[in-house]
Chains A and B, each alone.
Chain A
Amino acid sequence: MAAHFCWMIGGPQGSGLNVSAEIFAKALSRSGYYVFGQIEYHSNIKGKHSAYKLRISDEPVASHVDAVHLLSSLDEETLIGDLYHEFPAHRGHVHEVAAGGAILYDVEQKRFVGTIQRKDIFLWEMPYAELLDRALTEAGKPGQARAYRIMTNTLALGASAGAVGFDFEPVATAIRDSFGAKAGKVADLNVNAARYAYEYAKERFAGQLRFSLPAAPAKREQIMVKGTQAVGMAKIKAGVGLQTYYPISPATDESVYLEGYQSEQNLLVLQTEDEVSAIDAAVMGAHGGVRASTSTSGPGFSLMPEGLGFAAITEAPGPVVMLYQRGGPSTGLPTRQEQGDLLFALHAGQGDIPRIVMAPGDIEECFYDTFDAFNYADRYQLPVIVLVDKHLASCYQTLPPFKTSHLKIDRGVTKLANTNGDYQRYAFTEDGVSPRSVPGQAGGIFWSTSDEHDPRGHITEGIGNRLAMMEKRMGKVGLAAREIPEGKKYRFFGPAAPQRIPVLAVCWGSTKGAMHDALHRADPHHTRCAALHIRLMNPFPAEAVKNILARAERVVCFDGNYSGQLAQVIRADTGVSIHHCVVKYDGRPFSEDEIMVALEAAKADAPERLVISQGRVVEEGHGNREFEEMLVLRGSNPKMLAPMVPLPPGYNK
């Protein structure tokens, strides 16, 4: 039976808590653990609250859990919430700590620790300034702990490792690595500070927790990777020549990743003036003979339907559009999770736009689907949208290194022979795909237009041509449906046909990880509950989905949005109605526990629609009540100040 330990670090943005978490994750991964990291952060640079969770396991994990075993707190907000705010957003994380768990806090937070009502958890105080001063003194900087308090995150990391009884060496190595080649004195100082905190915590607290780090499994070659990195690597492997983007959370990291490889891999990343330009440039890059892609989130994609239609009507071999969903509508929740753009991705643009829409469910699928997306773009000469989201973008997971030897690049039908001037770029062919030429090629001159056009690419409004061209373009989606292997369209975890399925959980996109882990825990042989993860949204695998649904007694569909968008697609494409829609639109991804809770709740007599938030099914009006409660809390707690992140030492010199 799998065992896991859940660690969380909370604090103000800009305090380096994400750095600490990722160093810890790396140290754990190198020691053989399986790790899944999940970060929550605000659309803000410095000061607003962020929390990073690591689920540390002796088996592969693909999701986070709700209960925290050890919370490392960098500020009072982590304990009691943002009660300095007129309308507080949260109540801190104390209530998330499991009975028998612990909180590591800085002595400076003492005043707020007094308000913690819980008697079932350990409260462990750390004198970070004192320990830091010791390390600074050794480095010849006595009495400067205040100036260096930006280093507290490193001490918190050391203390956490000590409290759970993990070795210090892997932590020290990972800290050094994080400073890269320029390691030197600063790295030494950080390692020393972490060591003092490690020793202090280990001596006093190790072995007391009700929960312990599982025994480390045998070491193996593994990577720690985020979705944006997996996508970036897939694009490099697929031969992307031009990546365009306009900065936007949570998509930007992917483009920044690619920017780092421009010289090495001969690839060009173009930061455009807006997303209109980003997609148009990607379309023209594809026409120009390179594999082209762009990467954005909802607000940016809102500017792209025009370009999508242009790509489709001119039968450009692409682009590949990565759409990282985040909370909408409008600017919405810029750094929070939502699967709210499924219908938008399927329908964006005027008229009938042939397109492929993929929705990888985990980081591995992000890699392989992104690679395939370029092949589809070239093979079918249409835009390909890859729907991902904030959760996939930023979660941090141990995985075996991606296998690439079997990956094949298919650039589709290209025109190479000299055609003596009678070349038709939009020639009608049996499968609707016309051989394409690339500008610059002798004998390959063609015309291309966003207007309806004849086989040569000149404008015409003729009826026969219109019918034929619409059928040619739309037919390519049918061709894709026939050619894309079933295994890339959906995954079914359950008994083979014709066996009946008592409960069928259906989900899409990043919910896959939590669904997989939940069923692995609760019903690994799928005797009660089977799962269907849908990965190709257009062309939708309607027949297969319909056949699986027909075997189920009860269907529970999971959607990370308000309106149950997957359930709508299923109904539209298969005519089958879902029994229970589990929806989540609180800006946070489904956890493993939430999947279990929802499946428990979705009994036959349960309502058709179940709303999940913060680990439970919530009823109507829940949000308002919680909001009111928070105001009461604000009145009953000691006065607190908004967090201030210190500047690095010497900044103003």
Chain B
Amino acid sequence: MSTLTPDTSTIQAADFKSDIHNDWCPGCGDFGVVSAVQMALAKLQVPPHRVAVISGIGCAGKTAHYMNAYSFHTLHGRVMPSVTAMKLANHDLTVIGVGGDGDAYGIGGGHFVAGGRRNLDITYVVMNNDVYALTKGQASPTIAKGQKTKSMSEASIMDAINPILLALACGYTFVARGYALDTKYLSEIIAQAIQHRGSALVDVLQTCPTYNDLHTKGFYAGQIEGQPRLYRLDQSGYDPVVHNPDDAVEIAQKKAQALLKSQEPGGRIPLGVYYKLDVPTYEDHLKAKIPGLQQKPLAELDLYHRDITANLQELM
């Protein structure tokens, strides 16, 4: 996150609410996610006009409209290219990408991969409900083999993508998972993701009461062998942080640990931060290369009085 001088008046979560009617289904997990984003921003005291929210297409994609911030409801799967350019145009903004699992890991898969490699200082919140909700519940890339929601005509015969694994492989330097109906904890995770300098993925388990009858509120609230299905990594002695970013062995170990956690046998699901690595961001590298960026964001530089005499002379 960028260093900003907060307004003198304190910023509330409500300041990030837009005043339009929300048309998500009653009981949709997305409500919790939007609230969590708003709470996180309030917690960090970022003024709304210093925030850009960029969402994809789908139910989750409508998030941009429900936020009071510079909001872009873009194209299906194209959140990452848009987030990237917004951050490049103005690296002082807090830039948050939001989208569904189909959006992020399906049609946007290639962009998701590239986004991890770049390590821009951005946050990507993915509302993972295992279905393409807005097109009425077809299987999404996160539905497991053999599973069939009531909206699907037959069980999936493909393996599911594991977003945590994928993010680790792509180079996201902050990888976390939250649960939409635990809004308070989710907002803490999102706040950490925003504060993290680098590309942060927050995969959010999100209930879809209309199409997903497998992964419901009851499912997530359930127990496995007397233990709650969902539990917090930070309450189980797990340390996600790479303490010495120059130590390739530690990086590999912390990734391996996250990798194992993301595939916990037995069906328990850890919530919280799986992995965190602090290394220079894409912007840091750009600033080293492009002197103007050390002074101001690109959009604020005067690029309109350039002289091309030298360019012409080179061709003489």
**A310 CA to B82 CA in the complex, in Å?**
11
In the bound complex, CA of A307 to CA of B86 (Å): 15
Whether, in the assembled complex, B98 has its beta carbon less than 8 Å from a beta carbon of chain A, the answer is no
Evaluate whether A270 and B75 lie within 8 angstroms (CB atoms) in the complex, with A438-B299, A447-B64 already known: no
Q: Which residue of A lies closest to B50 (CB)?
A: A440
| B266 contacts chain A at the CB level, 8 A cutoff | no
Minimum C-beta distance from B37 to chain A (A)? 16
Contact flags B47-87 to A (C-beta < 8 A → 1, else 0):
11110101001000010110011111111001011111110
**Quick check: B85 and A292 within 8 Å, CB to CB?**
yes
Residue B113 CB within 8 A of the other chain: yes
The reply to whether A450 and B73 form a contact with Cβ atoms under 8 Å apart is yes
In the complex where A241-B301, A263-B289, A276-B78 touch, is A448 in contact with B85 (Cβ < 8 A)? no
Q: Taking the complex as formed, is B316 at the interface, i.e. its CB lies under 8 A from any CB of chain A?
A: yes
Asked if A282 lies at the interface with its beta carbon under 8 angstroms from chain B, I say: yes
Q: A266-B291, A459-B65 are in contact. Are A440 and B49 (CB under 8 A)?
A: yes
The answer to whether A450 and B57 have CB atoms under 8 Å apart is yes
A112 to B303, CA, bound (A): 57
Q: Within 8 Å of chain A (Cβ to Cβ): is B45?
A: no
**Which residues of chain A are within 8 angstroms of B64 by Cβ–Cβ distance?**
447-449
B18 at the interface (CB under 8 A from A): yes
Minimum Cβ distance to chain B for residue A261 (Å): 8
B75 touches A450 (CB 8 A): yes
Partner of A458, one of B20, B93, B303: B20
A156 touches B (CB below 8 Å): no
Interface residues of A in 220-235 (CB under 8 A from B): 221-225, 229, 233
For the complex, give the distance between the alpha carbons of A237 and B309 in Å. 10
**Nearest CB in chain B: distance from A293 CB, A:** 12
User: Which of these, A225, A266, A278, A280, contacts B292 with CB under 8 Å?
Assistant: A266
Instruction: From the candidates A240, A263, A285, A409, name the one contacting B88 in the complex (CB within 8 A).
Output: A285
Minimal Cβ-Cβ distance residue in B for A279: B81
Is residue A72 contacting chain B, with contact meaning CB distance below 8 A?
no
A307: B residues at CB distance < 8 A = 75, 78
Question: Is B89 within 8 A of A285, CB to CB?
Answer: yes
Cβ of B290 under 8 Å from chain A: yes
Which B249-303 residues sit within 8 Å CB-CB of chain A?
286, 289-293, 297-301, 303
Q: How far is the CA of A115 from the CA of B40 in the complex (A)?
A: 81
Whether A208 is near chain B, meaning CB under 8 Å from some CB there, is: no
Q: CA A439 – CA B70 in complex, angstroms?
A: 6
Q: Which residues of B contact A449 (CB under 8 A)?
A: 64-65, 72-73
| Per-position 1/0 for B23-41, Cβ under 8 A of A | 0000000000000000000
A439–B298 alpha-carbon span in the complex (Å):
12
Q: How long is the Cα–Cα vector from A288 to B72 in the complex, in angstroms?
A: 11
Please, how many angstroms separate the alpha-carbon atoms of A458 and B68 in the complex? 12
Q: Which residues of B contact A274 (CB under 8 A)?
A: 110
Q: Is the CB of A401 within 8 A of B312?
A: yes
User: Does A445 sit within 8 A of B, measured CB to CB?
Assistant: yes
A:453-502 near B, CB below 8 Å: 457-459
Count of residues in A whose CB is under 8 Å from the partner chain? 67
Closest Cβ–Cβ distance, residue A99 to chain B (whole Å): 36
Chain B residues with CB below 8 A from A273, complex form: 110-111, 113-114
CB within 8 A of A448: which of B50, B73, B289, B316?
B73
A405 to B20, CA, bound (A): 49
Quick check: is A548 within 8 A (CB to CB) of the other chain? no
Q: Is B236 an interface residue (CB 8 A)?
A: no
| Alpha-carbon gap, A450 to B57, bound state (A) | 9
Could you say which interface size class chain B belongs to?
A: 35 or more
Residue of A nearest to B20 (CB): A458
Partner of A288, one of B18, B57, B110, B299: B299
- Would you give the 0/1 interface string for A429-450, flagging 1 where the beta carbon is closer than 8 Å to chain B? 0000000001111111111111
Tell me whether A314 is interfacial, beta carbon within 8 Å: yes
Q: Is the CB of B84 within 8 A of A270?
A: yes
Is A19 positioned at the interface, with any CB of B under 8 Å from its CB?
A: no
Q: Mark B130-160, 1 if CB is under 8 A from A, else 0.
A: 0000000000000000000000000000000
Asked whether any CB of chain B lies closer than 8 Å to the CB of A178, the reply is no
Q: Which chain B residue shows the least CB distance to A442?
A: B49
Closest residue on chain A to residue B299 by CB atoms: A289
Q: A409 near B85 (CB under 8 angstroms)?
A: no
Known A-B contacts A273-B114, A281-B84, A439-B52; A223 and B89 likewise in contact (beta carbons under 8 Å): no
Chain B residues within an 8 Å CB radius of A443: 49
Chain A residues near B300: list those with CB within 8 A.
289
Q: Is A272 an interface residue (CB 8 A)?
A: yes
A441 to B297, CA, bound (A): 13
Contact of A262 with B by CB under 8 A: yes
Please pick, from A267, A268, A440, the residue contacting B93 in the complex, using a CB distance under 8 A: A440
User: For residue B84, which residues in chain A have a CB less than 8 angstroms away from its CB?
Assistant: 270, 277, 281, 284
Q: Is there an interface contact between A236 and B311, defined as CB atoms closer than 8 Å?
A: yes
Q: A262–B290 contact, CB under 8 A? A: yes
B239 within 8 A of A: no
Residues in A whose Cβ lies below 8 Å from that of B54: 284
State which residues 20-44 of A face B: CB under 8 Å: 30
* Chain A residues positioned under 8 Å from B86 (CB to CB): 284-285, 287-288, 439
Bound Cα distance from A440 to B62, whole angstroms: 21
Check if A242 is an interface residue, CB within 8 A of chain B.
yes
B90 close to A (CB within 8 Å): yes
A447 lies within 8 A of B18 (CB): yes
B316, A282: Cβ atoms closer than 8 Å: no
> Could you tell me the distance between the alpha carbons of A196 and B80 in the complex, rounded to whole angstroms?
58
A289 — which chain B residues lie within 8 A by C-beta? 89-90, 298-300
Contacting pair A290 B311 (CB below 8 A): no
Q: Contacts A266-B290, A458-B20 given: A241-B298 contact, CB under 8 Å?
A: yes
Interface string of A391-414 (1 = CB under 8 A from B): 000000000011010000101000
8 A-B pairs with the lowest CB-CB distances in the bound complex, closest first: A288-B89, A289-B299, A266-B292, A273-B114, A449-B73, A284-B85, A439-B70, A281-B85
B→A interface (CB under 8 Å): 18, 20, 47-50, 52, 54, 57, 62, 64-65, 68-75, 78, 80-86, 88-90, 92-93, 110-111, 113-114, 286, 289-293, 297-301, 303-304, 306, 308, 311-312, 315-316
Identify 10 residue pairs between A and B in the complex whose beta-carbon atoms are under 8 Å apart, listed by A's number: A30-B316, A225-B315, A236-B308, A268-B88, A281-B88, A284-B83, A284-B84, A288-B90, A440-B299, A442-B47
Q: A277-B80, A292-B89 are known contacts; what are 4 more A-B pairs with Cβ within 8 Å?
A: A233-B308, A272-B114, A285-B88, A291-B303
